[in-house]
Amino acid sequence: MAFLMVVFGFQMPGGVGDRSIDKGGKKKKVTIEAPYTARLTDIVHRFQDEVYEVEKCRVLMEEASGLAREVNKFMRATPTLNQEEKEVLTKLAKDAAGVKYAIEALRDTGWTITPIAKFERGCDVLGADLDYIKKDQYCVYIIQVTVNEFVAHLLENPSANGNMIRYSWKKAYEIGGGIVNLALYGESVNRIFDNESKPERYPAEVFNLVCAGFPE
């Protein structure tokens, strides 16, 4: 354990960490967040490569969630952190939590409500492109998120009040479509469809979208 503490350069609860590596008699400073940052970067790269693999995305979502919890636990257990270290680690924990929510929403791998702010933060960390397709036409926004060749469409509710949503949809170049009813909570997003395992980017049309407040 003592060896690992020197290599990774961070202070473990219950021990004293040397935040430098000795290379040929020269000390090279290693930032306290480096091992956590490396893990988050790995999660991001794997998601970009495996975005079409739902089960793999589920694992990545859980890893991001676990990383956020681990960083927060480390901060609570390490009272010797200075202000700069606290700020860096707090940001990293929020980034990891955002990645968890973004993966969960984009690949429909969870059951929790996805807050807009955390979703957008996660998309930014994942390197995803977010565009508004229809922003003022309906009571909620229709957004498109792109990760490499993967494209997902989501509904975004900027209001603090939840709504029951009903809409019709049709994908271009395909016969048929459908009508969907779903609950969209306040200040949250909900995926409606994506291009699944088909790498070609094709648009999907949403129309006749109607909102109704949650029943009392």
Distance, in Å, from the CA atom of 186 to the CA atom of 121, rounded to the nearest integer, reads 18
Higher pLDDT, 134 or 187: 187
Spell out a b/e string for 15-38, using b for 16 or more CB atoms within 10 Å of the CB, else e.
eebbbeeeeeeeeeebebbeebbe
> Poorest-confidence range of 4-13, 26-35, 42-51?
4-13
pLDDT band at 7; cut points 50, 70, 90? very low
Q: Which domain holds residue 134?
A: 128-213
Q: Give the number of other Cβ atoms within 10 Å of residue 9's Cβ.
A: 19
Asked whether residue 75 is assigned to any structural domain, the reply reads yes
Asked whether residue 26 is assigned to any structural domain, the reply reads no
The verdict on 93 and 68 lying in the same domain is yes
Higher pLDDT, 30 or 48: 48
Tens digit of each residue's pLDDT (9 = 90 or more) over 93-139: 999 999 999 999 999 887 789 999 999 999 999 999 999 988 888 99
pLDDT mean over 142-171: 92
> What residues form DSSP beta bridges with 191?
154
Last residue of a domain, one of 83, 115, 147: 115
Asked whether residue 140 is assigned to any structural domain, the reply reads yes
| Structural domains in the chain (count) | 2
Tens digit of each residue's pLDDT (9 = 90 or more) over 9-38: 333 333 223 354 444 555 556 688 999 999
CATH number assigned to the domain comprising residue 159: 2.60.40
Asked whether residue 54 is assigned to any structural domain, the reply reads yes
> Poorest-confidence range of 62-66, 135-139, 151-155?
135-139
Last residue of a domain, one of 86, 115, 144: 115
Asked whether residue 23 is assigned to any structural domain, the reply reads no
The verdict on 99 and 149 lying in the same domain is no
Please give the pLDDT value at position 36.
97
